[in-house]
Amino acid sequence: MNPLLKDLKIKDSWEQITISDFMQMEEINSSAKNSLEKMIHTLAVLSGVQDSYFNQFLVPELTELFKKLDFLKTPPEFPLKEYYNIGGKEYKLINQISELTTGQFIDLDHFTKDANGRIDNLHIICSIFLMPVIPKTLLQRGIEKTKLKKFRPLEHYMETPLAETSETSLTTCSMGMQVQSVFFFACSQTSLR
């Protein structure tokens, strides 16, 4: 057995793939010369190593590793959640058109205008649908313990800069969260036309 295999940890589910991973895989899919190059690059992205790491592997070893990527052939399925903890901060996923602000619509239009740039802007598009939850006060936490009322006030759009939210979502949001945002976006685009 190749000693390099022992330490190799490959992400093997959609839930483990970040937006950044997905963007890197899409970039190589559009520029790779052949399917072997695509598969090796995908393995590298999902294991956090350089493509050259796999140069020492025998063909049967690579074939076994490629089987771990079979989950990529199926569409991701995730239950829709209302709240997410991303980078230590709680966010509400806006999933109703009526809850979007004018600013969100304008930003959404801007970052989705160029069909070729949508993948590059995936983390920004996702962030448009994420509204930071204002941390609860000591009094609010006490009232919640009595189960009289739940508090989840949201920040105003852009109170936390979009650049900050999108940078956090780029490296910490799973594709599960992203798929939900994109699905909502696709439905909102259809209903607005």
The mean pLDDT of 129-142, rounded to a whole number, is 77
As a whole number of angstroms, the distance between CA 183 and CA 180 comes to 5
pLDDT in the model for residue 140: 66
**93-129 pLDDT tens trace:** 887 778 888 888 888 888 888 766 667 787 788 888 8
As a whole number of angstroms, the distance between CA 134 and CA 91 comes to 9
The mean pLDDT of 177-187, rounded to a whole number, is 53
pLDDT in the model for residue 135: 78
By C-alpha distance, which of 157, 154, 153 is closest to 107?
157
Domain boundaries, the chain: 10-73, 83-192
**pLDDT(184) > 70:** no
Question: Cα dihedral sign for 166, 172, 178, 184?
Answer: negative
pLDDT cut 70: percent of the chain above it: 76
Here the tokens at position 111 are: 């970052």
- Bigger pLDDT: 192 vs 38: 38
Range of 3-7, 55-59, 112-116, 164-168 with top mean pLDDT? 55-59
Mean pLDDT of the chain: 77
The mean pLDDT of 60-65, rounded to a whole number, is 89
pLDDT in the model for residue 47: 92
